């Protein structure tokens, strides 16, 4: 058993939307195919991955460093003999050969994308949905059969007035979501408050609305928003300040006693640990949003979950960023609290398997081997072209 080849390409996920920090007019992501010599149903097993959203394609790093390390490794060293499968941990270690500690964002996305494709291949070789394989290996065989998801959107874009924002949110409720998320921080506090009130008119209750500032605010602004939003009793207030400014997060928690969420821009278990040590986050109240695709993949995510456990955090407080099927598998297999969903943006990468309906805010997963990409036809078309094309 061996990896024959790892292919990568960059795909566009550009759209006219903007959050408080960036627009997505030039956004790209990497797609990776790990081609193996294992035959299932008469065809070689190919594992697929992509790098979530928000960090651009990683092809140059893969070509310059990571892919050669796998190609040059002894194939025997990458095998998990106990499970007669590829060994994601040995592959991860090989990818990280001669990499210094720290500075995680420089490479964590490239490694996380390859890691996703490796786990997809591992589950396909085992002939099981990834979430079932994870539950068997790490949670005594018990997987969640459905996962809570919330609809993320509410972006800024030209010409979007309150009625368009309300239509968008109404569309999410009509599709079975019970909780939605909108962006804040790109306009004045007064304007954002009127946007929030417009959405509350549609969703009816602050507990059905999250807001996301994408790290835009300094402490003074973060606190001003906190004071203004308190009466709405929102589901969460996300990424108020810079993702690495733990002191800001800690100070903000003295001014806002409602749930907050952050972590999508922390890319290692060490960064996660620093947030929990120094960010004033409350394990009974707050949410953590680490995205495996951006943060060295599932091998590292398992370490992050161990750190959480050591510091008294339940895995149920984790609701990953990214709205992708890999995190959905991790959520169901490793008992997270839920997963993000982008019903309308970042297609075809955002969203879950075709034909799986959201009911009362929960989704199920397809019963097919791997992450489930084959059950999402528009996404699988992009992946298959890479994996099986000439």
Ligand X SMILES: O=C([O-])CC(=O)C(=O)O
Q: Kindly list the residues in this chain that would bind ligand X in the complex (CB under 6 A).
A: 19, 54, 152, 212, 214, 264, 321, 340
* Least Cβ distance, residue 284 to Mg ion (angstroms): 22
CB of 165 to Mg ion, least distance (A): 17
CB of 158 to Mg ion, least distance (A): 21
359: β partners:
362
Binding site partner of 54, from Mg ion, ligand X, none, Cβ cut-off 5-8 A by kind: ligand X
* b/e map 75-94, b = 16+ CB within 10 Å: eeebbbeeeebbbbebbbeb
259 and 287 Cβ atoms separated by less than 8 Å: yes
Q: Note if 254 is an active site residue.
A: no
**CB-wise, 212 or 245, nearer to ligand X?**
212
Q: In the complex, what is the shortest distance from the CB of residue 215 to Mg ion, in angstroms, rounded to a whole number?
A: 8
**Closest CB to ligand X among residues 128, 324:** 324
From the candidates 128, 183, 335, 376, which is the catalytic residue? 183
Contact flag: residue 291 with Mg ion (CB under 5 A): no
The footprint of Mg ion on residues 208-227 (CB under 5 A) is 212
Per partner kind, with CB cut-offs from 5 to 8 A, the member of ligand X, Mg ion, none near residue 8 is none
Give the separation between CA 173 and CA 192, rounded to whole angstroms.
21
What's the token pair of residue 230?
């308190």
Element (H, E) at 83: none
Bridge partners of 289? none
Which residue has tokens 């290692």? 268
* Of 104, 128, 321, 335, catalytic: 321
Q: What is the nearest approach in angstroms of Mg ion to the Cβ of residue 340?
A: 8
CB 143 within 8 A of CB 333: yes
Q: Which does 376 bind (CB under 5 to 8 A by kind): ligand X, Mg ion, none?
A: none
The DSSP string of 19-53 is: -SS-B-TT-EEEEEEEEEEEEETTEEEEEEEE--S
Shorter beta-carbon distance to ligand X: residue 12 or 83:
12
From the list Mg ion, ligand X, none, partner contacted by residue 152 (C-beta under 5 to 8 A by kind): ligand X
Compare residues 192 and 212 and give the one whose CB is closer to ligand X: 212
Between 266 and 298, CB nearer to Mg ion: 266
Confirm whether residue 227 is marked as ligand binding.
no
Is 321 designated active site? Answer: yes
Q: Site residues (CB under 5 A) for Mg ion? A: 212
Q: Which residues fall in the annotated binding site for substrate? A: 19, 53, 100, 155, 181, 238, 264, 321
Residues placed in the known binding site for Mg(2+): 212, 238, 264
For the annotated catalytic residues, the residue numbers are 183, 321
Q: Binding site membership: which residues? A: 19, 53, 100, 155, 181, 212, 238, 264, 321
């Amino acid at each position: 058993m061996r990896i024959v080849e790892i292919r990568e390409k960059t795909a566009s996920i550009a759209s006219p939307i903007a959050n408080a920090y960036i627009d997505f007019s030039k956004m790209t992501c990497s797609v990776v195919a790990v081609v193996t010599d294992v035959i299932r149903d008469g065809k070689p097993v190919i594992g697929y991955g992509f790098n979530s959203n928000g960090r651009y394609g990683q092809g140059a790093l893969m070509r310059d460093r990571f892919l050669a390390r796998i190609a040059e490794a002894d194939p025997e060293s990458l095998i998990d003999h106990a499970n007669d499968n590829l060994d994601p941990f040995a592959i991860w270690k090989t990818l990280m050969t001669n990499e210094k500690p720290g500075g995680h964002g420089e490479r964590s996305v490239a490694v996380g994308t390859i890691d996703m494709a490796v786990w997809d291949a591992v589950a396909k070789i085992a002939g099981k949905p990834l979430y079932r394989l994870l539950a068997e290996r790490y949670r005594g065989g018990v997987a969640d059969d459905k996962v809570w998801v919330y609809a993320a959107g509410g972006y800024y874009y030209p010409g979007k007035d309150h009625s368009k924002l309300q239509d968008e949110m109404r569309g999410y409720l009509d599709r079975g979501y019970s909780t939605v998320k909108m962006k804040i921080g790109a306009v004045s506090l007064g304007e954002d408050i009127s946007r929030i009130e417009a959405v509350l008119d549609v969703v009816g209750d602050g507990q059905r609305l999250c807001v996301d500032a994408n790290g835009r605010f300094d402490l003074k602004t973060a606190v001003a928003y906190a004071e203004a939003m308190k009466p709405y009793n929102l589901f969460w207030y996300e990424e108020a300040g810079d993702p690495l400014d733990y002191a800001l997060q800690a100070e903000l928690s003295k001014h806002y006693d409602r749930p907050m969420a952050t972590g999508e821009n922390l890319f290692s278990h060490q960064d996660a640990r620093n947030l929990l040590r120094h960010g004033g986050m409350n394990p009974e109240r707050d949410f953590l949003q680490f995205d495996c695709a951006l943060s060295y993949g599932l091998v590292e995510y398992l370490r992050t979950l161990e750190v959480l456990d050591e510091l008294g955090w339940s895995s149920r407080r984790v609701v990953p960023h990214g709205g992708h099927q890999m995190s959905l598998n991790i959520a169901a297999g490793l008992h997270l609290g839920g997963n993000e969903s982008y019903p309308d943006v970042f297609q075809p990468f955002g969203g879950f398997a075709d034909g799986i309906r959201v009911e009362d805010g929960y989704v199920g997963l397809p019963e097919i081997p791997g992450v489930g990409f084959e059950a999402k036809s528009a996404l699988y078309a992009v992946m298959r072209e890479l994996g099986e094309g000439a």
